[in-house]
């Protein structure tokens, strides 16, 4: 995956206090990402590559692998919520 991931235009990650979970809002619908995906999405600002995102996550969680982050991002790219700069 080349470049640095960021949320596509019109996509927004927010925390729904009523449901007590993160919600990903985008023109085609709504996703409720699991905690892992939400942690990755919070770091998708177009300034960090996969390795840098994984490193930031390792500061918060144990056992984070670059490939795990890449896999999450690949699934999100398929859903058209993440793009690469």
How far apart, in whole angstroms, are the C-alpha atoms of residue 70 and residue 47?
16
pLDDT for the residue numbered 2: 77
What domains does the chain contain, in order, with CATH numbers?
5-79 (1.10.10.1150)
How far apart, in whole angstroms, are the C-alpha atoms of residue 1 and residue 60?
23
Question: Bridge partners of 21?
Answer: 16
For residue 1, what pLDDT band results from cuts at 50, 70 and 90? Answer: low
- Per DSSP, the residues of 16-28 read ETTTTEEEEEETT
The structure's pTM equals 0.91
* 19-55 confidence digits (pLDDT tens): 999 999 999 899 999 999 999 999 999 999 999 999 9
The CA-CA-CA angle for residues 38, 40, 44, to 5°, reads 110
């Amino acid at each position: 995956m080349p470049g640095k991931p960021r949320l596509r235009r019109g996509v927004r990650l927010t925390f729904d206090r009523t449901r007590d979970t993160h919600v990903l809002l985008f023109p085609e619908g709504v996703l409720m990402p699991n905690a892992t995906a939400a942690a990755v999405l919070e770091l998708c600002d177009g300034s960090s590559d996969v390795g840098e995102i994984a490193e930031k996550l390792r500061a918060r969680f144990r056992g984070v692998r670059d490939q795990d982050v890449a896999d999450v991002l690949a699934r999100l790219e398929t859903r058209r919520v993440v793009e690469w700069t």
